Amino acid sequence: MADKVKFGIKNVHIFPITSYVSSTPTYGTVIDVPGAVSLSMGAQGDINKFYADNIVYYQTAANNGYEGDLVVALIPDGVYENVFGFTKDTNGVITEDASKEAKAFAMTFEEEGDTTGTKFVMYNCTATRPTKDLATIEDNKTPATQTLTVSAAPLKNGKVMAMTSATTPDSVKNGWHSNVYFSS
């Protein structure tokens, strides 16, 4: 049975891209990103119109992927190290190096629904370093959040994203966050 409504986000995972073989990415060890608060991803790409005979004779829309913000409770150390290139020394201190370039990654996550929900993978993401929203404690303690601006661009083969449907077998859904899913 298909969902009637969608709500919530959970189970965010990041798979750093470690190399490319014939334009196909190889993904590294999965990093669990607990504490997802929100994800807002807008479609990227312009609509181009060609005018002839005094009308819109032909139009096309470019698919340049998605861009938006992932808000989480806390970015795990593994993301700093394996995506942003920060280093952790023997004292456990994590240091940022401005000469290190961030790595691309795949991101999986789930959107809850009233019956089955939907699992997503975005194959070729890059992100800004996280922003931190900190504030003094007043009458009550409100947890701080961290925000990554994420851009999901098409791979060289054109794939941007995949998502499960009501007919996706449980065998596929159950392993969704273990490996990056590619359709055949």
Calculate mean pLDDT across residues 173-179.
93
Confidence of residue 141 (pLDDT cuts 50, 70, 90): confident
Residue whose entry in the numeric block shows the structure tokens 């990103």: 33
Confidence of residue 184 (pLDDT cuts 50, 70, 90): low
CATH class given for the domain over 6-76+104-174: mainly beta
pLDDT in tens, 146-174: 999 999 999 988 899 999 998 999 999 99
pTM of the model: 0.88
Domain boundaries in the chain? 6-76+104-174
pLDDT in tens, 83-99: 999 999 999 999 999 99
pLDDT in tens, 105-126: 999 999 988 888 899 999 999 9
- Other beta carbons within 10 Å of 123: 26
Which residues lie below 8 Å from residue 67, measured CB to CB, with a gap of 6+? 41, 42, 44, 149, 150, 151, 152
pLDDT in tens, 13-49: 999 999 988 878 999 999 999 999 999 998 888 889 9
Three state DSSP letters for 158-176: CCCEEECCCCCCHHHHHCC
Question: Which of 8-12, 40-44, 60-64 ranks highest by mean pLDDT?
Answer: 8-12
More confident residue, 141 or 180: 180
- Mean model confidence pLDDT for the chain: 92
Helix (H) or strand (E) holding 82: helix 77-82
Eight-class DSSP state of 77:
H
What is the rounded distance in angstroms from the CA atom of residue 171 to the CA atom of residue 174?
5
